Amino acid sequence: MNKQKSPEAKAFIGNLKNGIWLFGVSSWLFGITDRSIASLSDGYLSALDLTQLFTAATFFVAWLFLKPSSTKA
């Protein structure tokens, strides 16, 4: 049995995917900003601080590539 989704369900799923992706972008930006402020608050960057910032930035870029496609019904 091959049931097709209604256009309303497809629109809802698309909006949900985009909403989750936008929430993730804002969360990653907040996390990177918070980590940057915490790293720079003591006046110098250690190797651990740089590693944490690089890791967060890498995951943020990966998250950007996960943007849901906008396929029309």
Does 73 have pLDDT greater than 60?
no
The token pair at 16 is 């949900």
Alpha carbons 12 and 29: distance in angstroms, whole number:
26
Instruction: Quote the pTM value.
Output: 0.79
Cα radius of gyration (the chain): 18
23, 66 Cβ separation under 8 angstroms = no
pLDDT of residue 4: 76
- Tens of pLDDT, residue by residue over 15-54, are 999 999 999 999 999 999 999 999 999 888 899 999 999 9
pLDDT of residue 42: 87
* Cβ neighbours of residue 39 closer than 8 Å, sequence gap 6 or more: 45, 46, 49, 50, 52, 53
**Residue 2 — very low, low, confident or very high, per pLDDT cuts 50/70/90?**
low
